[in-house]
Structure formats: C-alpha cells, structure tokens
A and B are shown apart, each in its own frame.
Chain A
Amino acid sequence: MNLEKVFFAFFIVLSLTLNFGFFIGELDNPNHHNVYELFAALTVSLIATIMKFGDRAHIGAVLLATSLVADLQLIAAVIVWGIFVYATDTGLTPMVMASIVSLSGGALLANIISVVILVTETVMFRR
C-alpha cells in the first residue's frame, strides 16, 4: 500500500463529495447551499492540487491540470460570493446564488474527471 496514493485519493474523492454536497439542491435557493461546505471544498481541493505538484508522470500532470481547474472554479465562486455580499449591497439574491452554484458545478465536473482518471489509473496498474 502506497501511503501517498491513499492520501491523494482521499483528498480527490473528498473534494468531489464536498463539492457535490454544496452543489446539490435548488440552484438559486441560498438555503440549500451551505457556505461551510464551499469553504471545505475549496480547502480540500487546494490540498489535492498541492499534492500533485512536481509529479512528472503523464497522468500526474493531467490530474494536476484538472484539480487546478476545480480550484479556479471554486475560487471564482468564492470571489463572486464575496463581491456580491460584502463589496456591493446586492446580497445573496437568487441570481447571485445561481451563478455561485453553477461555478461550483463546473468545479464538480473537473472533480469528476479527476476521480475518473484516478480510477482508470488504479485499474490499469493493478498494484
């Protein structure tokens, strides 16, 4: 058992599940989307990205790319949240919520791709 692989798989899958938890619910209803979950998703996603730093294998590089995409989407969602709630007086209107959740939906897709690659790699190399 490779401890590095365990940690990485853990963070990738956790990032997917947290992201999914945040994403699920009515798109524009702020009550269905917990800010803590978004925070946790971003943190875990960042850690998953850093764990792939400096991986020279081809699959490692692709995983780094997909998790970087997830990071960017989540950071964009957080910035949208911050701007509309604090920098302007708009507040958490359904429209704002919808754009935040759809951004996290993009991150979810990237996370799914990461997990698919991870599973493929695991299946290919039966070690």
Chain B
Amino acid sequence: MHNIIYLSLQRMRAPLIAVVLAYAISILGLVLIPGIDDQGNPWRMDFFHAFYFVSFMGSTIGFGEIPYPFTDAQRLWTTIAMYTTVVAWLYAIGSLFALIQDRAFRNLVDYSGFTRSVRGIKEPFYLVCGLGDAGRLVVRELAVRGIRSVVIEQTENKLHALHLEDLPVYVPGLCADASASSSLIAAGLKSPYCAGTIAITDSDHINLTIAITSKLLSPQLQVICRAETHDSQANMASFGTDYIINPYDTFADRFAMMFQSPSMYLVYEWLTSIREAPLRDFVAPPKGRWVLCGFGRFGKAVQKSLSFEGIRTITIESDISGTQAPEGTIEGRGTEAITLYEADIDNAVGIIAGTDDDANNLSIIITALGLNKNLFTVARQNRSRNDAIFIAADIDLTMQPGTITGRRIVNLITTPLLNDFLRLARQQKEEWANILVSRVVGVLTDRPPESWTLVVGHSQTPAIIEAISKGHPISLGMLCTDPRDLGDHLPCVPLLLKRQYDDFLVPENDSVLQPGDQLLFCGLKGAETHMRWTAYDFNALNFICTGVDRPSGLLWRHLSEHRASE
C-alpha cells in the first residue's frame, strides 16, 4: 500500500508542478493587467477574483468574464492562460491515467492486493506453487472441500484462467517466480495459518528450491513436492521433504499392480479417485509381450516395473544413446507401421505409447491398432487440454502425470490416513484384497466409494468421549449402525484403526474405541453424515447403545424418571 502511494506521488511530481506554475502565472497576469469596471473607471482584478476566474477557466467550465467585461489586454492574456492551464491539466490527468495503466504500477497494485488477501486468511491454508494440470486440480479440489489455498504461478494466463473458474472459496494468486523466497514469504510462508507448501511446478529444480526455502524458513511446515527424476527425489528427501511424488513411478507401480493383484489395484483406484468418476469395469491387462514406445522418464519407470513382474517388453526409441535404452531397442518413433512391424506388433499383447508428445502417442496407438486390433492400449497424456481426443481414441488405460500428482496430493491433505492404509494394504496378499473388494462392493451402488477420517476426541466425537467417561464402552460396530434404523448397518467399511502404537487394518466391528483413535472409513456418500451425527449427538449414540429413545429435555427426563420409580 505504502509503495503505491510513493510511486504515484513520485510520478505525479512534474505534472503537479506544471499545474501549480500554470495557475500561478495565469493568476498573476490577471491581477497585474489593468481593466475597466462598469462605470468606465480603471480597475484591477484582485487575487480572489483572479483565482476564481482561473479555476473555472482552467477546468473549461467557463462562467464568462467577471466581475466586469474584460478589456482587450485582459482577453489577450486570458487566451494565453486558457491554453496553458488546459494543457497543464491534460498533462496532469494524462500522467495519472498513464500511471494507472502502467505495467509496473499495475503489478504493484496486484501485489499489494495479493498480500492483503493473504493476510486476511484466518484459517489454515496451503501454499500451492505452480498451476499446471496438477496445480489446478489441487486448488479446485481443496476449494470444493472448503480448504483455502494461495497460488504462485509464473504465467499470467494460467492465473487468469484460475480467476475465471467458479471456485467456492477465494484463491489469491500471485504472478511471480516461485523459487524466489520473497514471493513465498509474500504468499504467507511465514504466516501462522500456513499449513503446508505444495511445490508442483514443471521444473524439478524450482520445486527443489521451494522445498528447501520452505524447510529453512518454516521448518514445521509440511512440504509436498513433485519430482520427475530420481536424482532430485533423493535430493529433496535429504533435507526432510515430507512427501515426494513422482508421477511416473506412481503410475508404473499401479500398472504393475494390475498384473500382480487386480483386486489390490481396484482398492487403490477406488480410494484414490476423486469424486464423481463413474465406476468403470476393470479389465486386467494381458500377460505377454508388450511394445513400449519412448524410453524417457515414463518409459524407464514402466519398463522397470514390468520386468519386475516378469513381463517382457520391446522398446522403440528414437534417441537410443541419449536415453540409454536397453539392448535390442528398435530405433524410431513408433508412429510408423514399419517400426511397429519391426517390433513384431502382430504377436504382442499390448502397446504403451509413452513419448512426451500427445499427438505422437495418439498416432502410435491408432497405427498399432490398425496392425493388431486385439492390443491392450496404454497411453501417456501429457496435457489435460487433450482430454477430448484421448477419450475419443478409446484407450484402455490413460496416464496423466498432472492428474496422478494432483490426486495424490489431495488425498495426502484431506485423508492423511489413506496413505498409511495403502502402505499397509500393499503388504497384504491378493486374497485379502479380494475379500475387501467384495465387502466394499457389498455396500456400494454404482459410484466409487468415498473415504473419510474420524478422530475420537472432544472436537469430532464428544458423544463417544462422554460415553467412555461414564464407563460405557463404545464399539466400532455401534458407530457403524444406522441411527435411523437399529437393524441396519451404515453402507460403509472401516479400513484402518490407528492407535498410538498400533495400526489395525480393516478392524472388526467389536473393536472397542479409545480416545485418540483415528479411524478411516470408506463407503457411500450419505454414510459419513449419519456416522458423524452418531459420534456427535449423545442421544443418537444412546439410542444405538440401548435401543431406547431417551428424552432429551430436562422436564421430560424428570417426568420419565419419576414414572420409572413409581
């Protein structure tokens, strides 16, 4: 704010001096030039009248020659004065407008507006650096869940697009270099309300700078980083970055899981999907020989995972020496039939188009399907704006780095327990996953399940705390009972019970709750509301425990106790 005033004052110096001088000269001239009054006597205008006259003349309002008609000498001077003052005014007003239009000035105004709105946030917020596909997804999903965020983005257009999006909470955005610590501080890095930094720009190096700045300036903050190479991943981990997300590794891991344990893959897919995605039929990819086009970061990660699963791949890559492609790699892009023939596409079971060019990837898929229409197709989609064509191409599995990163970040922030659950679930066997999938399917309709967290404590579950303190143990099964109909079970499955030292994976219904327990559930959308009601309202919980609808008012309670004693 201060800067704006200083800058405008500084720029207005010359125009204002011009106005003052023009006025002073005009007034002085009018006072000095003799005139004649209505009786024909010589008369001189005084300063008061001269100032009055110049004021309305300079502003081109023009009331006429007052108090007496002017002499020719006065008119001559007035003509000169008219042009001087009007030009001076135009100069001053023109400079003011030029200042307002000025880019530096506008940036300053935007900047001070931004810092003001960041200071105005009085609830926890996340600092999102980079508004790529992942950044937009994170900001949108957080906003839908009522979580505030602040954005730093280098390109102005992306910020404009953000403001055009109809988000339920206001998201302040700053157009600046996120690797500069001053921009991070302006965006509230040191604010007591800042809950975490999310570094998801396109460049690993910028993400690294953001992470290290954040860890140095506010060590207690959670830092979530996107990294595309293992090098920067190790670097980020070295100074304590809380979560590092490599979209290629994440995808390759999931892809391998599809072969290894389809049920486990389904569990992962359901729990990490973001609302409203329709529940798709799962088609397990065939085991056999695969053709992999492009051996970049994506190709390397996929190839490693597949070979771990014992699946053979033939690689096609145009720059064999630069990418250190394995032996037997076929040189080419994969977009031409001849290269694909060379890779023996006729006898392959699937094709993975993993170059960093969306048009090439689509071309690979379409050409390959033309040669062998039974192929299982996997394509990497680099830009989310190409959604429509990738859907039209009817690809079996599409990998979007931005969406994968964004989804993981949203899950980490909104349901941190999910991360623990997935880590534990990964160690289980396929049979375990089969049972879980059939249990979850049992409560589902046609939409994917929602997941939510419940912490047994005073703020979220006062009714349970009260019951425990009165000596009534509350079991998990009670919490999962429908408070409207005692015979019914809420459509949900408890996934994880996290206690101080123990984690119980898929806890049984007779587990007794303790204060401080963290619970992770998945189930239908409405179930969460009913469960929270039970946990919050003592009467609802009491009804579930005893089956008796206890009178809630003092008078009625007194009357019923009286009646019971009689």
Contact = CB atoms under 8 A, between A and B. Distances in A.
Contact of A85 (B6, B11, B16, B48): B48
Contacts of B21: 43, 47
Interface in B1-43: 6-13, 16-17, 20-21, 24, 27-28, 31
A25 interface: no
The 5 lowest CB-CB distance pairs between A and B, nearest first, are A54-B10, A53-B9, A54-B9, A43-B24, A50-B16
A62 to B, nearest CB: 15
Interface of B: 6-13, 16-17, 20-21, 24, 27-28, 31, 46-48
Interface of A: 35-36, 39, 43, 46-47, 50-51, 53-56, 78, 82, 85-86
Given A43-B24, A54-B9, A54-B11, 19 more contacts: A35-B46, A35-B47, A39-B24, A39-B31, A39-B47, A46-B20, A50-B13, A50-B17, A50-B20, A51-B17, A53-B10, A53-B12, A53-B16, A54-B10, A54-B13, A55-B10, A56-B6, A82-B48, A85-B48
Contacts of B20: 43, 46-47, 50
Nearest to A46: B20
Contacts, number: 43
Contacts of A51: 13, 17
A94 to B, nearest CB: 20
A87 B48 CA distance: 10
Contacts of B9: 53-54
A86 B9 CA distance: 35
Q: From DSSP, what is the main secondary structure of chain A's interface residues?
A: helix
A50 B10 CA distance: 9
A73 to B, nearest CB: 17
Nearest to B32: A36
Contacts of A47: 17, 20-21
Contacts of B17: 47, 50-51
A47 B31 CA distance: 21
A86 to B, nearest CB: 5
A39 B13 contact: no
B28 A54 contact: no
A124 B91 CA distance: 37
B12 A86 contact: no
A63 B16 CA distance: 18
12 contacts: A35-B46, A36-B28, A43-B21, A43-B24, A50-B12, A50-B16, A50-B17, A51-B17, A53-B12, A53-B16, A54-B11, A85-B46
Contacts of A50: 12-13, 16-17, 20
A85 B49 CA distance: 12
Contact of A39 (B10, B16, B27): B27
Contacts of A43: 20-21, 24
